[in-house]
Structure 1
Amino acid sequence: MKTLSLLICLLFSGILQAQEVKIAFQQQLPNSHPRYLTDSNGKSETLNLIEKEDWAKDVFEKLKRRTDLYANLTDAQPDWLLSRLAMYWKSHATDVYIKGETFDHAGGEKAPAPTVRYTGTRGTFATHGRPRLEDVVPYDDNAEGNVTFCNNALPGRPMESVHPSKTGRNIESLNREIMGIARDAAFLYWLTGEERYAKLAAGVFDTYMTGIYYRNVPIDLNHGHQQTLVGMSSFEVIHEDILYDIVPLYDFLYDYLNTRHTDKMDIYAGAFKKWADNIIANGVPHNNWNLMQARYVMNIGMILENNKQYADGKGREYYIDYVLNRSSIRQWSLTKLADYGFDPKTGIWAECPGYSNGVLNDYTSFATLFDRNLNYDLVKAMPVLSKAVVATPQYLFPNRMICGFGDTHPGYLNTNPISRMIRNAQHNGKKKQEEYFTAMLKCFHPDAGKTKD
């Protein structure tokens, strides 16, 4: 009996120790901004590239021409762009209520500032589509909480007042278009120093992020599973896609905001952290959702300041470490998810090929991000990633197309994970790994490395 008790204790101790395995590293992000897509050296490198390479000059000029259209409008009317954001302009609603996968109504107390309007449905079907940006009604918010969108069923798609539940995800789409313009303006300000771009970007960013700060997580009146999935802007935390625009915008515009909107910096950080905390609290931990959630949290963590800058102690170290090492009911660490999902012998992920390849794409994307931004070799810390990339051809038929079982469409293998393994090897001086995956990539793309792409 004593022997059995001892074995049980040893087994339990081993489980606890396994759960406590962590990836420990010294975070090396600079304190200055930008630091997400580039760093302080990036400006001169980008300007030099534009000067020397025709393709880079062409990209820059197209970006500038497109952004100048809205910068000119904003010069003439400062609120031209920001007034077209989908917000609760009049009601300042703090609470959003849904019924399952459909928006119901907004209410609650009146916030000190306009709050961000919630999208219509979880799915994309819509009887009413969004107008062109120039046709959007400024400060669109009536007593019924409707939006002025286009009736897709009628000739000419006339604009009419309609309940948001009829608009699918078009509210998200409208705000993303506007935020994308502001993101490009923030980049141009960082690159050129022209303040007109900063004013455009700051107006949109300040309006939207203040609106996120004062609005609460949606409430499901059905008290169903949807409550565990909702995001701040979308019905699914894995589709908080506007963060892909807001994070680089903030990073490029940080110095301007910190100088001109000093009193709002805590609000901006609070809005980002509310977003990250909700993504951690909601979602699905044991499959491909987890990595999509983790990427949003990681991106937010990278543009926040150090833990000590915030009263709650939650800054970039906290959120980056959460992605790597911490687990909660709906957000697992990268290591725990890998232990759960990858077969340690074969490297095969425990979902259908479509999801499996998506997961591997996300994991190797994290590896690239850690190399580039943190100078840390995630592949070395998680050897199963290399094994998983090696295993990907096992999903293929002889014609090199993926076996289309489960939620998978037949198609050709995404070779980005292979390319990222090569870059990881080059960054960290792993010659054998570089040679192996270079040979593997050439099996799919014989001309890889011969031309610029």
Structure 2
Amino acid sequence: MKFKYLTLNIRFIVILILITFKMSSQTKERPFILVTAEERNQVLEKIETQDWAKDIFKELKGKADVQVKSFIKNPKTYLEKLPFNWSEGQKNSFPPFYKTYHVENGVQKNLDNATDAEKKNMELLIKYLQVALDCGMMYYLTQDEKYAYVASSILYAFAKSVQKSQLSDWHGRGGWLFPYDGFREVRVLGYKVPLIYDFTASYLKNGGQAFDIIKNKKVDFPVDELQDVCRTYADITINYGQTGSNHSVLESPSLVYNALAMDDEKERETLLSYFLTENTDNQDGLNVMYKKYKNKGDIWPETSQYLNHSTAILAKLLLVVNKYNPSLELGKKYQNILFALPRLDYFVFPNNEIVRWGDGHRKAHAPYEAYENAFVLAQMDSLPELEDKFAPLIKRAMTKGKYHRKNLEALFWYNNDMSEEVAKIDLPRTDRVYHAGIVLQRNFSSTNDPKDGLMGFVGGAHMVHGHAEGMNIELYGEGQVLGVDHGRNRYGKDLHENYSRLFAAHNTVIVNGSSQGEGGWVNLGINTVQLISMEPKVGEEAVSPFHSFSQTSFEDNKGDKAEAVQERTLALIRTSPTTGYYVDVFRSKSKLPDEYHDYLYHNIGDKLVFETKDLNFKKTPKRYMANANGKWRHNKVYRNPGWHFFKNVKSSQAYDKDVKATFTTKKLSTGSVFMQLHIPGFENREYTKVKAPTTFESPKPYDDLPTPTLVIRNKGEAWKNPFVVVFEPFNENEKATIQSVEKLEENGLYKGLKIISNTPTEKLIQYVITQSKNDIFQDEALGIYFQGTFAVISLNENKSLHSIYIGEGDKLIYKNEIIQTDASKTYYKAY
């Protein structure tokens, strides 16, 4: 009896083991990369019941049906339009595709600057693969095999021909079709191939065929060959490119999708590990990329378009892989990536244009699809803080008409299951972009009109896609970014490499005509601007509604001919709801003999007009041409500092008196605006006005006109008596409010300014004290004593106290008023 039960138990265990083995070894049914077969009914219900989903489906169907109709009419003719290189093909065999590569002066380069002819083949391949992907999605949605037939036929032709090319070994492992730009190949071609296969795999598994243009008939699809193609694209990603930059992020979709295209589960997991945990000399894994997001709110440390794009890609891939294997809980493990997504919305001027640094663009929009991906991922991994963060942001974007669900993933991933709360984005008075060295200040007007807002920033640092810009500023006024950074256009060109990236394209100081970048990414390394003081500090309440300031430092020591230390104080002072001004104090000194320093300021506009009548200008065309024909090697050696691009160069004699000048900008569609400059006089100063290259992404028509630019040269050190400029923006319907600017000195050294303004509401007399940290200014005649960095004493027209502001300081005395600050070292009082 016992033996009988033992036999039955053994038999049961064996059966259980066999069942368990069978279940564990079952392959996942495709599709499963973006969406699963089990989710199809839910997707169809969305199309049936939700207008946004219906619109996405309708647009997809319309595009796909046009292609299907053309294909069915004559499959051979349709497919033969692919860029086949018939001259290199063998009889009765698929020919290779034309390769797309760009060569200049015998040097292989990437495709950023390819000619139209060079781009044609690339665009054709992208178009055909997108048609196949559209048709693959339509097959998933409709189960109509005509779509799968078109998709698989294009995929078949691609797989056959791409393998006819020799895989490039440029930089370790280049592309198949873009021999010198494998990075681009996996980004624009490689990621589409596995998705097409994933959507058509069930058709192929059930005996579906593809059209063969060589045999001129339907044939079975060689899945094994397609697996080789996907395997190779994954391998290109793993073994080509660079680490420590956004390259690893941009190549990751190809890696993930091609890994998931592997039918062998073990191989799939092995390749996927190169996204999750494994690192190579050419590809960072997610565990390494995540180090960029050490703290909640940290952002990808590059320029604006790259930081948001990179983070959005990672958020999407987290969702894709999490859907494939929910037990990974990637949203929970890597949630700081998701918290980074909204940060770019906070680095904007009052007109919503982006603060610009490095190769960053002026205009962009938040990655709202990424917000939705983050929301879905937060739901999956039970992260209520992230759900509560993104749902109101998504609703806000929809309510304002900034976001409409249009991408195809929306059909698969998004639902109408979030709260109706609409987020309000309150931009802080100050903020920082830490990796870019940026310290920004803003002051919105009580009028709530963007043209009345004020904002400026100081910044500069080295990063991938960064510029050798020194300690740079941008200034805003009258609804426009007026004091501008040049920006960038096409990579690799003379203008980009020898101007846009260099000191001369920025509002900075060039030392000894030799400031430059050195080392680091493409030899553009500079030091990071360091914060000395600011008020208000980031995240803290401002002590004054009208004042703020920052003081920063920079070491200009790349190369061996500048060797300078610098300090910059930028203050923002509002004088009424519609008026205000900026004070810029830039100190610079070199340890080298015969030093000289040039202060640069670029302002969009028609011209720069000097109102100082005895300041005479003569043409000086050779002034900035010393390095015009210097060595230039792409991404290695530059014609620093880049000011040989200045045109119409006119310079003054040595001039030590005060100077007043105005940038006029009269061609804007919104009306004329002006930026007036008050420049206190010092010895050993020369003034130059030039036409700098066009500032990219300026408002029309200034996006196609030269940029008026001021250069002030100081012979000798510029520390004890620094560059000092007061900037006031105003428009055609207003007058400039500043009546006079007079420097404050002690023992012949600059200490601050006396500024008199006639505002729309009152007359103000303001003593603006701008010193290095912990310095002391004492003027018995004025009755002023101040120990500290920055302070503003404002008087009414009758010279009674209006207000006192201390941005940072220990003690201030004004006549009978004695102020000793507390531990915050800040103070404000209105009288």
Instruction: Give the TM-score normalised by structure 1.
Output: 0.68
Is 1:208 the counterpart of 2:120? The answer is: no
2: CA distance, partners of 1:336 / 1:343: 11
Return closer, same or farther for 1:80/1:42 CA change in 2, 3 Å cut-off. Answer: farther
| 1:256 alignment counterpart | 203
8 Å Cα contact 1:111-1:214 kept in structure 2: no
Return closer, same or farther for 1:231/1:395 CA change in 2, 3 Å cut-off. Answer: farther
1: CA distance, partners of 2:361 / 2:115: 28
| 2:279 alignment counterpart | 327
Return closer, same or farther for 1:192/1:215 CA change in 2, 3 Å cut-off. Answer: same
Q: Which of the residues 100, 114, 127 maps onto 2:95?
A: 114
| 2:254 alignment counterpart | 296
8 Å Cα contact 1:400-1:412 kept in structure 2: no
Counterpart residue identity of residue 316, structure 2: S
Is 1:355 the counterpart of 2:310? The answer is: no
Query: What secondary structure, in the 3-state scheme, does the structure 2 residue paired with 1:356 have?
Result: helix
Larger mean CA deviation between 260-269 and 345-354 belongs to 345-354
2: CA distance, partners of 1:290 / 1:111: 40
> Where do 1:44-443 residues align within 5 Å?
44-54=41-51, 56-92=53-89, 113-121=94-102, 122-123=110-111, 128=116, 167-218=117-168, 227-228=171-172, 230-234=174-178, 235-240=181-186, 241-258=188-205, 259-260=207-208, 264-308=222-266, 315-339=267-291, 341-344=292-295, 347-375=298-326, 376-386=328-338, 388-389=340-341, 392=344, 395-397=347-349, 400-411=352-363, 414-416=366-368, 417-438=370-391
8 Å Cα contact 1:210-1:271 kept in structure 2: no
Shift of 1:260: 4.2
Return closer, same or farther for 1:432/1:330 CA change in 2, 3 Å cut-off. Answer: same
Counterpart residue identity of residue 113, structure 1: F
2: CA distance, partners of 1:203 / 1:444: 40
Shift of 1:91: 1.6
Q: Give 1 or 2: higher helix fraction.
A: 1
Shift of 1:294: 1.4
| 1:38 alignment counterpart | 35
2: CA distance, partners of 1:419 / 1:192: 25
8 Å Cα contact 1:213-1:274 kept in structure 2: no
Larger mean CA deviation between 50-59 and 206-215 belongs to 50-59
8 Å Cα contact 1:88-1:117 kept in structure 2: yes
Shift of 1:30: 6.6
8 Å Cα contact 2:227-2:261 kept in structure 1: no
RMSD of aligned residue pairs (Cα, Å): 3.5
8 Å Cα contact 2:238-2:274 kept in structure 1: no
Return closer, same or farther for 1:422/1:37 CA change in 2, 3 Å cut-off. Answer: closer
Instruction: Give the TM-score normalised by structure 2.
Output: 0.39
Shift of 1:251: 1.1
2: CA distance, partners of 1:58 / 1:357: 27
2: CA distance, partners of 1:237 / 1:350: 20
Query: What count of residue pairs does the alignment treat as equivalent?
Result: 359
Query: What secondary structure, in the 3-state scheme, does the structure 1 residue paired with 2:290 have?
Result: helix
Query: What secondary structure, in the 3-state scheme, does the structure 2 residue paired with 1:326 have?
Result: coil
Shift of 1:204: 1.4
* Structure 1 unpaired stretches of 5+: 1-26, 94-109, 129-166, 221-226, 309-314
Query: Which has more radius of gyration?
Result: 2
Counterpart residue identity of residue 43, structure 1: R
Query: What secondary structure, in the 3-state scheme, does the structure 2 residue paired with 1:355 have?
Result: helix
Return closer, same or farther for 1:29/1:438 CA change in 2, 3 Å cut-off. Answer: farther
Larger mean CA deviation between 355-364 and 284-293 belongs to 355-364
Counterpart residue identity of residue 307, structure 2: S
Shift of 1:365: 2.0
Q: Give 1 or 2: higher strand fraction.
A: 2
Counterpart residue identity of residue 385, structure 2: K
Identity, in percent, stands at 21
| 2:18 alignment counterpart | none
Cα-to-partner distance string for 1:129-165 (whole Å, 9 max, x where unaligned): xxxxxxxxxxxxxxxxxxxxxxxxxxxxxxxxxxxxx
